């Protein structure tokens, strides 16, 4: 993390010639009954600190609503990503998630987790500036030209998103984009040494202290993109995980595998999570998966 401190700078919003823009971030209520609670949430937002909650450099944090949803899938990277138009995303437990944009996967989640880690050092809405070198190094990716372009594509993909989330604690739907603005090239289409990203102030609503899950960054980034990384986040959001049906986990992963194939892959992922010390034990009883966390 010492290298990041030297290369990642957080600056006021600069004057720039070219900006890649996404649609404005809005709050949206579904019907008239939601306007009153929405007003209360907006009033609460105005009184909250402009910063995200704090967590150590060795951790990353994610809202429970996202970890317990199929927003970031673990579909095979060899399969083309599909475009989703206002599709309801599978959620385990309370809440509803509706998504528009290109399919997001586990590598997108990793990038967004680190981006929000950098964002917590500044008031939300201000520019986060970093070198792509430092960002890629923090992700644990190899420092190749291919991964520079992969990072650019991932950030652009998350900019072109519309996410509507509802849960009991939110009292209504809120609509946000995972990234508001992203700049990596100048007006002559030349690569910038420092890339710039803005995230919306409204994300404070998702990052409430009581509804966050903090994960060990080294463990998360060391996991291969797939079922193990997905379930690591999901079970990290539960201190005492409860039994879950295999078909429910299949939906959570956003996988198109058959149940039989998924079950075989699931067992390998569970073994991996036990090997790294995250799970104390696991077992499958008919169609239920039972796990015990070590930490």
pTM of the model: 0.84
Cα separation, 244 vs 96, in Å, equals 19
Q: What pLDDT is recorded for position 33? A: 45
State the Cα–Cα distance between residues 199 and 210, nearest whole angstrom: 21
Domain edges within the chain: 2-222, 224-295
C-alpha 147 chain-centroid distance: 19
Q: Rounded to an integer, what distance in angstroms lies between the CA atom of residue 193 and that of residue 11?
A: 14
Q: Specify whether the CB–CB gap between 263 and 285 falls below 8 A.
A: no
Tell me the CATH class for 224-295. mainly alpha
Which pLDDT belongs to residue 174? 85
Q: What is the pLDDT of residue 9?
A: 39
Tell me the mean pLDDT per 10 residues along the chain, length 295. 40 41 36 47 59 95 96 92 96 94 98 98 94 98 96 97 89 88 94 96 90 96 96 97 97 94 97 97 96 93
Write out the two tokens for 193.
């040494």
pLDDT at 35 (0 to 100): 41
Residues 104 and 86: their CA atoms lie apart, in Å, by: 14
> Contact at 8 Å (CB) between 287 and 262?
no
Which pLDDT belongs to residue 2?
40
Query: What is the pLDDT at residue 49?
Result: 62
């Amino acid at each position: 993390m010492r290298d990041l401190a030297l290369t990642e700078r957080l600056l006021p919003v600069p004057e720039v010639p070219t900006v890649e823009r996404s649609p404005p971030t809005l709050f949206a209520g579904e019907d008239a009954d939601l306007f009153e609670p929405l007003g209360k949430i907006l009033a609460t937002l105005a009184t909250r600190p402009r910063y995200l909650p704090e967590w150590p450099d060795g951790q990353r944090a994610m809202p429970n609503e996202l970890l317990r949803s199929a927003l970031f899938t673990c579909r095979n990277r060899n399969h083309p990503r599909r475009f989703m138009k206002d599709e309801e995303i599978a959620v385990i437990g309370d809440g509803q998630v509706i998504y528009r944009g290109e399919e997001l996967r586990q590598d997108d989640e990793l990038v967004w987790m680190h981006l929000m880690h950098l964002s917590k050092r500044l008031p939300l809405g201000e520019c986060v500036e970093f070198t792509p070198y430092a960002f890629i190094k923090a992700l644990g990716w190899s420092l190749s030209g291919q991964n520079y372009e992969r990072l650019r594509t991932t950030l652009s993909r998350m900019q072109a998103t519309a996410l509507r989330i509802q849960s009991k604690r939110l009292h209504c739907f809120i609509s946000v984009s995972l990234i508001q603005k992203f700049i990596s090239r100048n007006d002559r289409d030349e690569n910038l040494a420092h890339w710039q990203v803005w995230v919306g102030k409204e994300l404070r609503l998702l990052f409430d202290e009581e509804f966050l899950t903090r994960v060990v960054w080294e463990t998360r980034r060391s996991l291969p993109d797939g079922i193990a990384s997905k379930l690591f986040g999901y079970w990290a959001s539960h201190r005492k995980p409860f039994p879950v049906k295999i078909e429910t986990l299949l939906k959570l992963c956003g996988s198109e595998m058959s149940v039989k194939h998924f079950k075989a892959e699931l067992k390998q992922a569970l073994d991996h999570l036990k090997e790294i010390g995250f799970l104390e034990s696991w077992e499958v009883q008919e169609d239920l998966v039972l796990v015990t966390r070590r930490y």
